[in-house]
Each structure stands twice: as C-alpha cells, then as structure tokens.
A and B are shown apart, each in its own frame.
Chain A
Amino acid sequence: MPIDFRDWSSGAITTLEMRVIDRNAAYMGIDRHILMENAGRSVATTVIERYPKARRILVVAGLGDNGGDGIVAARYLHSWGRDVKVILLGRISDAKEELVVDNLGILRGLNVEIIEAPTPYDLLAHQEVFHPWAEVIIDAIIGTGIRGVLREPQATAIELINKSSAYKVAVDIPSGLDPDTGEVRDIAVKAHVTVTMHRPKVGLVKEGVSQYVGDLVVADIGISEEVEHIVGPGDLYYMSYARRPDSKKGDNGRVLFIGGSREFTGAIYLAAKAALRTGVDLSVVMAPRDVARDIRAHDPSIIVIPLDGDYLMLNHVDQIMEQVGKSHVIAIGPGLGLREETMRAVVELVSRAVDVGKRVVIDADAIKAIGELKRQDLITKNVIVTPHAGEFKWLTGVDVTKEVNTWSRALMVRDVVKSLLRGGVVLLKGNVDIITDGQRYKLNFTGNPGMTIGGTGDVLTGVVSALMVKVQDPLEAAAISAS
C-alpha cells in the first residue's frame, strides 16, 4: 500500500542510489517484473483512492520503464471498471524495453484503446482526449532517466497535460523535473499527486518544486529493507571504470604500500599485486631491505623502495612521507610485526598522511598498533580499516563474535564504530563481511571457506586500496572490494 508523504527530506535518495537498489533487488531475486507490477498497481490504487468518482482516465506513456509503470496502471484501472485510454509516445513497434513490450502485449489483448503518437502532430490530432475527455491523466512519460532538454513529442505531451483541467498523477517523477536537482529546464508536468517508488528522489523534496510534485505519495513496491544493506552488482555503478583517452602513467592510481618485516615477506607483496590487478597504474612498496629485495626479484611490475633495517622504524617516517605526497592512497600494515617502535611509526605515519588529506587503508598489524596506542581518533572519514573479529576487538575492545545473528551483529558493529571512531569506515572481515561508517552499513555474502588460506586478507587490502582511487565514497569502495 502507498505510504502518505510526511517528512522525507532525510530519507530521499538520488537516481544513482535507486539504480543500485533496483539492480541489487534483482540480484536478491526480486524480479523487475514484480517491481513494475507493484509500481503500476500503486499508481492505480492512488488514482482510485484520490479520485473515486473519476471514470475516464488517460495514461500518457513513454517507451521506457516509466511508461511501463503507466501501462500496468492502465491495466488495473481497466480491470476496476474505469474507461481507460493510453497515448503511447511512439509506435508500439518502437518499444524495446522487455518489460514495456511484455506489458504492452498484455494490454493489446484487452479492450483498452492505445493511441500511437510518435510526433507532436499525432498528439494534437487527439488533443480532445486530454481535454475535455480525461478526468484524470497519468503522466508516465519520463522517470528518472531524463537527460538534457526535452524532445518531441514529450514536450508537446507535457504542454497538453498541463493545459487540461483533469487531475494529474505523475508516476515516480513529474516528467520534465530533474529527479536529482529539482530543476525544470524547459517544461514539466504540474501534478496534483506524484506517486514515487520505494523512496522519494532528492529532486522531489527540494524547495520550490511543490507546484510540480503536488502531494507526494511513496509507494512500497516490494523492495525489502535488507536490499539497501547488501552488497551486490548494483554497487558497481559507484565505480568509475572508463579511462580518459589522454591519461598517462599514474593518472589511474598510484598506491603506496608500507609493510613487511624480517618475519613476514609475502603479505605486502600480495596487497601490491592485487592493487595492480584491480587496475591502478602503479603499486609502490616501501619495506625493510630484505623484503624489498625479495619482491624485486619476484615481480618486476612493482616499484620497490627499501627501508634500512629489518623493521619499520620512526627514522623511516620522513623518507616515507616523501612518497606519501606522490600517492593517491596509502595502505599500511601487512606483515609489519608488533615491535614497540614499529607501532609508534605506524601511528606517526597515519597521523601525518591523514593531516595532508590522503586516503588511507589500515590493515593487520597497523590496526593493532592503532588499538594498542589508543589512537582510534585517527580513523577519520578518508580512512578504511579492515580488521577480522580479533583485530576489531584489539581496536575497539568489543568482541563481536558474541552476537551470532548476522544482521544484529551488523547493527552492533555500526554502533561501536559510531561511538569510538571518527567517521572512518570499518570493513569487518568474516563469513559475512560487515562494512560500516557508523551511520550506514552493508553486508557482503560472497567468499567461501577456501579463502581461509593465509594471504587473502592482504589481497583484500590491495583491492580496497585500488578502489579508493576509483570510488568516491569510502564505504562503497570497501563494500565493492569485499564483494
């Protein structure tokens, strides 16, 4: 059932977020057919509830998904005894979207008149349908897919809708209104009611748009709350994969990895290698001399800068900071060990990197160093920490394994992160990964018991570091990395 508008200003989402939710819903098995069916039925229900005496209803439908919602609404209103006509802004044969084709096919088998209007002249030839025939007009022309200036016959259709004295009900967005900014570049439908799907779009709750939106009804179309909290293929929409044709070495990411010790030589190599495979241009490793020598001998694709001695020490910090300045992202931790001076060097490096505005990924022994020296204040908004449950306890003092229910554990982790950290992101590795910044949280269900082998955590560190270059939102960078 539709939910009436209250104050949605804090719960509004962008069209990008809605695309992510749509795709992840399909990934969870909530098929797009189901969503379109529920959307169309919600629109029809709203029409009946708001205008129970109206008998003649016109649906003006585009050829995209928004039009599909309108066509489903037309079917329900016809079933409920209303006299329904559909004006399709194009030829039936022009429809390419599978769901639109399917629903048009159903409607053509019913006693509903479908008027094809590929040009403004076709619309003008039927303008009596807009006025005086229609008592209610459903605007299903353009939804969240609006791009640039309106084309024909859409612009003429909007003009005819606005001239009509019928009640107007917009599907998802009044056509012509930018769903992200609330701007109207040319002309937009002035609706009495807008039925928006799942959540209000940001442009619908901006100041000054009420003359277009009218009353806002938020329709529950069957997307469960959990869908917003799982990591799925939709999250990839947040990632920038394409490269500029004129890009040069380093433009697509230079990541600095700091780690390794006399005991642990492989961890920092795995992280650096994973970052290259994820698509950065340059992986630079700064490691104790023996580790550096081994990596050099093993893999010429990684730039290696040796540090004197067997461990990271405070006197390395200035040398490392020179490289920090040249890098997009700094990753620190794998294989460092837990010597007292190494831990103090970690804190000094993270502190200075954060101060100069760098994005930082903290893993393994570096997490323990932050926890041991009680510098959780360093975990600010451009920092991602990637602990397993044991490291999380070291960092926060909280044993999350006591909570066995995955969803309850996610809320527990979120609350701990909110209270102890300063806006940074925690990616808690486990059977189900939990990613949170203390406000939002996501769960990742990929991975398998084969990945308990040593080194996969270091691979994750490399992937996270690379995606911190390619994804603006650190929470999403961590979520996609885990997936």
Chain B
Amino acid sequence: MTGLAGDLAVKDLGYHILPTDVIDNIPKVFRRLMNIDDIVRSSIHPQALKLIG
C-alpha cells in the first residue's frame, strides 16, 4: 500500500512529493487492486443508488 501510494504520487508529481501526497494516494491503491466498486455499491441502499448512480 505505502510503496504503491508513493509510486502513484511520484508518477503525478515527480520527486516533489510530501508524505501527505503518499497518504492521499492510499485510497487510489485500494481502488486499483481490489474490486472496491462492487463491494461498496453492495453496501449502499438500492434507492440511494438510483440517485447517485
């Protein structure tokens, strides 16, 4: 998680990253590696899904 978050941060910003940039990329690593959309959508009420898509 940390290494990949750092790799994503450097891909965006070059060698000008802050530790907070690494933190901000942690959710993106989860999204790339896991089937998060399906897991999260299954936890949202069907009526709400109609509104938020």
Contact = CB atoms under 8 A, between A and B. Distances in A.
A456 B14 contact: no
Given A241-B34, A241-B36, A241-B39, A446 B3 contact: yes
Contacts of A447: 2-3, 6-7
A245 B42 CA distance: 10
Interface in B1-53: 1-7, 9-10, 14-20, 22-24, 26-27, 30, 33-34, 36, 39, 43
A373 B7 CA distance: 37
Interface stretch (A67-75, A269-277, A302-310): A269-277
Contacts of B43: 242-243, 245
A455 B6 CA distance: 12
Given A241-B34, A450-B10, A463 B19 contact: no
A294 B28 CA distance: 28
Contacts of B30: 241, 279
A450 B3 contact: no
B14 to A, nearest CB: 7
A270 B10 contact: no
B49 to A, nearest CB: 15
A450 B17 contact: yes
Contacts of B36: 241
Contacts of B20: 270, 273, 455
B4 A459 contact: no
Contacts of B19: 270, 453-456, 458-459
B17 A453 contact: yes
Contact of B2 (A279, A449, A450, A482): A482
Contacts of A463: 1-2, 26
B23 A450 contact: no
Given A450-B9, A450-B10, A460 B23 contact: no
A249 B35 CA distance: 24
B46 to A, nearest CB: 13
B9 A459 contact: no
A448 interface: yes
Contact of B18 (A446, A455, A481): A455
Given A242-B39, A453-B17, A458-B19, A277 B3 contact: no
Interface string A100-138: 000000000000000000000000000000000000000
Given A245-B43, A447-B2, A482-B2, A277 B24 contact: yes
A450 to B, nearest CB: 4
Contacts of A242: 39, 43
A164 to B, nearest CB: 41
Interface in A218-275: 233, 236, 241-243, 245, 270, 273-274
A450 B34 contact: no
Contacts of A480: 1
A210 interface: no
A481 B17 CA distance: 19
A483 interface: yes
A130 to B, nearest CB: 40
Interface string A455-483: 11011101100010000000000001111
Contact of A273 (B4, B7, B23): B23
A446 B1 CA distance: 9
A482 B3 contact: yes
A480 B4 CA distance: 10
A456 B2 contact: yes
Nearest to B4: A446
B1 A278 contact: yes
B18 A453 contact: yes
Closest 3 CB pairs of A and B: A446-B3, A455-B19, A447-B3
Given A447-B2, A463-B26, A467-B1, 12 more contacts: A236-B34, A241-B36, A243-B43, A273-B23, A278-B26, A446-B7, A450-B15, A451-B17, A453-B19, A456-B19, A459-B5, A483-B3
25 contacts: A236-B34, A241-B30, A245-B43, A273-B20, A277-B23, A277-B24, A277-B27, A433-B3, A444-B3, A446-B4, A447-B6, A447-B7, A450-B10, A450-B16, A451-B17, A454-B19, A455-B20, A456-B6, A456-B19, A459-B5, A460-B2, A481-B2, A482-B2, A482-B3, A483-B1
